[in-house]
Amino acid sequence: MIAFRTRPEVGVLRRPLGQWALVACVTLTLGACASTPSGVLIPATVSKPEAATDVSVLVYSTRALSDEPGEIYSGQRGDRLSSVVVDITIPPSHQTGVIEWPRNREVDPAIEFATRAVTPVPDDAAAEAWIASHAARGHLLIFVHGYNVPFDKAVYSLAQLTHDSGIEAAPVLFTWPSLGRVWGYVYDRESANYSRDALETLLVVAARNPEVTEITVLAHSMGSWIAVEALRQHAIRSSRVDPKIRNVILAAPDLDVDVFEQQFAALGPERPHFTFLVSRDDKALRFSRLLAGGVQRVGAVDPSVGPVRDVLERSGGVTVINLADVQGRSRLNHSVFLESPEVVRLLGSSIASGPSLSGAMDLPFEGLVLDMAETLTSSVVQAKPVARQSSEVNY
């Protein structure tokens, strides 16, 4: 059992000025980030360059449909799980770790991401047909985004990750009703609660598909809570997690360490392999910790500290990648898994090679805190520093 349990830091809770300074800093940082232009999901009418890359994303959503042109899904809660396929092209000049957003509705596919088509998925048969034609070797990657993410950012982020990581798994987005506003944290948290049953349903249906042989779940930030909770419910209902769900990757997980301890225990001994991408320098998780009464978040633990390291070493089936010295493109250091070219490629190698991460060893990461030779037991990887780049945030 993993036990990261820590008491709230009383000193932190007793420093109201420091608390509000951090809240103001994080809010201003998020608010200063350039918002995405409206209407980016209106299909482009301009021909794409021959060198552009096509990415098709199967979407399942608990969001309400939007009446706004090019928005598809709003931040409101829908009354059912719905599905579309979004086809996107990535420009030949694309830089790894960047989304080249359209500057206006006259998109230029030569230098910008472009939506080519948005197609409703009317039934399970249509979804199965998409999976059959897109899932190389039957492998699905199900991505669950985090807090403060509108639908267009969620689907473009998965398209970027799919392209940059080189994964062959079919990209499936589970998108839930995030308000897409900095001040919407509590609303988003309740929307996460609202969506856990739907994600469990998606996981069960995907695992029952005979065309699917392997499922990797990748969740970011608050999306990690939905993913782990859905897996917990599935394990309780079915007495174990379906063996097709082999790999769970949690990037900057916004999870209360005490709650996660119970969730993890409920998964049972036949759980998937878990990989955590953590950083004690994640400023967004410091903000989350303040809102949670000072309780540590899983994504901000320091795996090199004795007690935490000892727990990881005993747990088995757990990998921790410490990204404390890796800089993303934002000052919050919360979306390094999307923004750092080295980390994006590490993710691709991890997903391709399975839980062992053995395929990632040629990347520029230095010494292992725990023995990577025993790849089916716990491992901790310390990443080399990577220079900070521009200013985009994908929270």
Number of Cα atoms under 13 Å in the Cβ half of residue 193: 5
Task: Identify whether 235 is part of a domain.
Answer: yes
pLDDT (0 to 100) of residue 283:
85
- Is residue 53 classed as helix, strand or coil in its secondary structure? strand
Closest C-alpha to 333, from 382, 282, 274, 375: 282
Structural domain contains residue 176: yes
The enclosing H or E element of 367 equals strand 365-368
pLDDT surpasses 70 at 266: yes
Q: Which tens digits make up the pLDDT trace of 301-330?
A: 887 776 666 666 666 678 888 888 787 777
Tell me what the pLDDT averaged over the chain comes to: 82
**Is residue 388 in some structural domain?**
no
| Residue 30: inside a domain | no
Mean pLDDT in residue range 88-103 = 96
Q: Tens of pLDDT along 50-91?
A: 999 999 999 999 999 999 989 999 999 999 999 999 999 999
Residue 43 within any structural domain of the chain: no
Tens-place pLDDT, residues 120-155:
999 999 999 999 999 978 999 999 999 999 999 999
* Structural domain contains residue 392: no
pLDDT confidence bin for 99, thresholds 50/70/90:
very high
pLDDT at residue 365 in the model: 40
Asked if residue 1 belongs to a domain, the reply is no
The domain total for the chain is 1
Domain membership flag for residue 383: no
Q: What are the start-end ranges of the H helices in the chain?
A: 10-13, 16-32, 124-134, 151-165, 185-208, 223-238, 257-266, 283-291, 306-315, 336-339, 341-353
pLDDT at 360: 43
What is the distance between the alpha carbons of residues 159 and 87, in angstroms, rounded to a whole number? Answer: 9
Q: How are beta strands 139-144 and 170-175 bridged, if at all?
A: parallel
Convert the pLDDT of each residue in 333-379 to its tens digit.
788 888 988 888 888 887 877 665 534 434 334 333 332 223 223 45
**Residue 374 domain boundaries:** 53-378
Instruction: Check which CATH number belongs to the domain holding 97 and give it.
Output: 3.40.50.1820
Report the range of poorest mean pLDDT among 62-71, 285-294, 383-392.
383-392
Give phi and psi for 54, each to the nearest 5: -90, 135
